[in-house]
């Protein structure tokens, strides 16, 4: 038995207006269209049929004569949808699905008919994996898959927008998790060493989609967490503030990572996140991470959080520098600190570049510590004299559009 999708009452005036504007003869509605568009007879057999099609109101969306839009649409597709459906992104939403913002409703919904509720083109999580392919592969490859994810992403996410929560979540964490997980059970408390984690962010340890680690912890688990040594960093579970760290900043990590912290503090140039009040937690998560070295995010996204100008320059650059483009900033920079300018991994820029580039065969131009830069007697000619490592709008990271313009900066005698 065919089930017709019920749309808001706002549908009626728009459809009536479209019919009247065409001045169609009595009975000359969808039935007339189906005489040519026979394929839609099969569409009408699906379990969920869009109300305009079910009622034969094809002119509710299409102009039967001419149109400036593909498929003879009567207007921009997103504008047609909004004639009947309320806008799905609330004002000031905390998060919004980009396809909804862009008005690409047909990415998820079949405008005519489908076998799935809400005219969705696929059911459950399979619909989401159509775009979120990487996530779909990760879930599929995981030894332990979160049950809601296997069934339907909409258990946790709003497909259009969330007015109050990030990542399209329907509730905040941990309230969302507690709709399924009973945190008052003894088993739950024992597994968490009696710490009040029902008040914490579950996603700081657990991969909510799936993992090959027991208890769906992220793939990279901090050793104190895997061994249940919470007291290593936190106060006792019955303390007044059990989740508070015993020490703030890098001092909290120094107990175990003594050599690394001490060596870093003895460097001439220290990356400022190491020594501010938050310390190591600026870049690392203390519990578990999907990224190696317990980084909060993949390296490119993590560095871009502060170095927005550098990443923006790379995006604009006509030649992409692979270490930046591939998120391998540590190929050139030491993330904690170094004794070198720009916390480079080596004292000489040419040595840093030489790790990837065989510059000795690159050019016969004299460069090195003994070659003084004629523009500044205190500088020497090296790779960065001509190239900007994070990119320029010109090829090969050059500072100027043509080689001639570049050369005459020093060789002024050749200016024309």
Dump pLDDT digits (tens) for 74-97.
888 888 898 888 888 999 999 999
- Residue 377's pLDDT is 92
What ranges in 44-123 are assigned the alpha helix state H? 51-54, 77-84, 98-101
Taking residues 310-325, report their average pLDDT. 93
Residue 162: which H helix or E strand, with range? strand 161-162
Of 121, 119, 115, 116, nearest to 46 by C-alpha is 115
The answer to whether 118 and 109 have CB atoms below 8 angstroms apart is yes
**pLDDT of 66 strictly over 80:** yes
Taking residues 49-54, report their average pLDDT. 90
* CA end-to-end span of the chain: 84
Dihedral (C-alpha) 406, 397, 369, 413: value to the nearest 10 degrees? Answer: 0
- Residue 34's pLDDT is 83
Percent of the chain with pLDDT over 70: 93
In angstroms, what CA-CA distances link 140 with 133, 156, 215? Answer: 10, 18, 17
**Spatial separation of the C-alpha atoms in residues 163 and 166, rounded to whole Å:** 9
In angstroms, what CA-CA distances link 142 with 151, 207, 217, 218, 323? Answer: 15, 10, 11, 11, 29
Task: Specify the long-range contacts of residues 370-377, CB closer than 8 Å, at least 24 apart.
Answer: 373/410, 374/410, 375/409, 375/410
pTM score, two decimals?
Answer: 0.76
Q: Taking all residues of the chain, what is their mean pLDDT, rounded to a whole number?
A: 90
**Spatial separation of the C-alpha atoms in residues 416 and 410, rounded to whole Å:** 14
Q: What is the pLDDT of residues 158-195, one digit of tens each?
A: 999 999 999 999 999 999 999 999 999 999 999 999 99
Q: What is the pLDDT of residues 103-127, one digit of tens each?
A: 999 999 999 999 999 999 999 999 9
Strand 220-221 to 288-289 pairing: antiparallel
Of 284, 248, 250, nearest to 265 by C-alpha is 250
């Amino acid at each position: 038995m065919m089930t017709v999708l019920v749309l808001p009452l706002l549908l009626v005036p728009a459809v009536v207006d479209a019919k009247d504007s065409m001045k169609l003869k009595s009975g000359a509605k969808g039935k007339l269209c189906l005489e040519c568009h026979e394929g839609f007879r099969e569409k009408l057999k699906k379990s969920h049929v869009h109300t305009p099609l079910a009622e034969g109101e094809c002119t509710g969306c299409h102009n039967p004569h001419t149109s400036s839009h593909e498929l003879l649409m009567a207007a921009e597709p997103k504008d047609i949808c909004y004639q009947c459906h309320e806008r799905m992104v609330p004002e000031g939403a905390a998060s919004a699905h980009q396809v909804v913002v862009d008005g690409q409703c047909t990415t998820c919904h079949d405008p005519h008919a489908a076998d799935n509720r809400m005219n969705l083109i696929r059911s459950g999580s399979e619909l989401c994996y159509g775009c979120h392919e990487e996530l779909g592969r990760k879930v599929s490859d995981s030894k332990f898959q979160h049950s809601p994810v296997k069934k339907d992403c909409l258990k946790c996410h709003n497909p259009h927008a969330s007015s109050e929560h990030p990542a399209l979540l329907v509730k905040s964490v941990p309230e969302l998790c507690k709709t399924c997980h009973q945190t008052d059970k003894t088993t739950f408390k024992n597994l968490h060493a009696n710490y009040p984690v029902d008040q914490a962010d579950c996603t700081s340890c657990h991969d909510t989609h799936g993992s090959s680690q027991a208890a769906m912890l992220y793939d990279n688990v901090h050793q104190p967490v895997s061994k249940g040594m919470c007291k290593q960093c936190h106060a006792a579970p019955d303390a007044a503030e059990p989740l508070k760290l015993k020490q703030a900043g890098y001092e909290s990590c120094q107990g175990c990572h003594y050599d690394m912290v001490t060596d870093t503090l003895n460097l001439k140039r220290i990356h400022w996140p190491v020594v501010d009040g938050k310390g190591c937690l600026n870049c690392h998560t203390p519990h578990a991470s999907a990224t190696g070295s317990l980084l909060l995010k993949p390296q490119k996204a993590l560095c871009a959080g502060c170095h927005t100008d550098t990443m923006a320059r790379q995006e604009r650059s006509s030649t992409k520098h692979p270490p930046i483009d591939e998120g391998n900033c540590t190929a050139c920079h030491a993330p904690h600190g170094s004794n070198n300018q720009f916390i480079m991994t080596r004292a000489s820029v040419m040595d840093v570049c030489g790790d990837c580039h065989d510059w000795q065969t690159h050019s016969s131009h004299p460069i090195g510590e003994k070659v003084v830069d004629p523009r500044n007697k205190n500088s020497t000619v090296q790779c960065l004299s001509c190239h900007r490592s994070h990119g320029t709008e010109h090829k090969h990271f050059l500072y100027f559009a043509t080689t001639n313009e570049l050369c005459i900066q020093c060789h002024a005698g050749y200016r024309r």
